[in-house]
Every structure is written in structure tokens, then in C-alpha cells.
Amino acid sequence: MKTIEHSYNNNISLPLSLSQPTKVNSAIVPLQPQQEIITSEWEHLIAQAQRINQMAAELEVKILELKAIASTFNTQANGKPCKSICKYLTVSVPWVRQKPDKSLIITTRKVDLFRAEKEAALLAQKLRQQTKRKRLASQQHIKNKSMADADQLLRL
């Protein structure tokens, strides 16, 4: 008579993909009151909008860095300007705004590529005006002193 082997002694061979632990991406959502779900989803939406705006700000910084690198590249070591390596057109980045009624608008925000130059020109103008005022005040002081000295001499 033939002996029957017990099946529990034999290992079941599984394909490699089945023997590996798998990650479960979905779970049963616990019951929550409807208001809590809406609040949670609203917070997630606002967080996403803020992240988009943060990434847009980072992109703006990188664009301005690119412009700065290009402008240094455009000037040769001897200081003579060479052919422009980069041309600048109007640039915008995505931007999420919230209206007064709390709804969101996805729009764009213009990147001012020449803001640094404008600020530098404005600062230079202010410094020139301050220097001019100081020079005029100094000249006025000297003139007043000279007149006072002349008056004193006339009184003698």
C-alpha cells in the first residue's frame, strides 16, 4: 500500500511578487460628520493653493537668478559688452487668489524682470538728491556766514 503524504508538510510556492508584502493604499474611511469632512477638504484645498503660490515665488526667484547669471555672462572680463545671450519677454507665474466670497481663482502674476534695475536707479536718484541738498545747505551756510562777517565788519 502506498502512503499518502500530508499536504500541510509541503510548502506552497508563490511567485516572488505575491510573496513580498504589499502596501495598501486604500482604507476604510471612518465615519465623520459631513461638516468635518468639508472642513478637512477645505483646509487641504487652501494648503494646496498656498503650495502653488510658494512654488511660484520660488520659480520667480530662479528666473531672476537666471537673468543675473545671463547679465554677468554678457560682460566679458575686459568689461566690454558682448552679444546678448538672453532676451527678455513678459513673464508670468501661476498664482492662486482668494476672492472676498472665499472662492479661489487661479490666475497669473507678472514677474518684473527689471525690478532690481529700477530699484537701483531709484536709490541712485535719492542719493543724488540728498547730496545736492547737503551741498546746497553747505553753500547756504557759507554764504550766510560770509554775510554775517561782512555785517560785522561794517558795524566796526
Report pLDDT for 7. 45
> Alpha-carbon distance 73 to 83, whole Å?
10
CA angle, corner 142, sides to 141 and 146, nearest 5?
115
Q: Report which of residues 51 and 35 the model is more confident about.
A: 51
Overall pTM surpassing 0.85 (yes/no) = no
pLDDT digits (tens, 9 = 90+) for 45-66: 999 999 999 999 999 999 999 9
Mean per-residue pLDDT of the chain: 77
> Alpha-carbon distance 98 to 46, whole Å?
9
> Alpha-carbon distance 103 to 39, whole Å?
14
**Amino acid present at 109:** R
C-alpha cell, 73: 555672462
C-alpha cell, 110: 507678472
**87 contacts 68 by C-beta, under 8 angstroms:** no
> Alpha-carbon distance 82 to 84, whole Å?
6
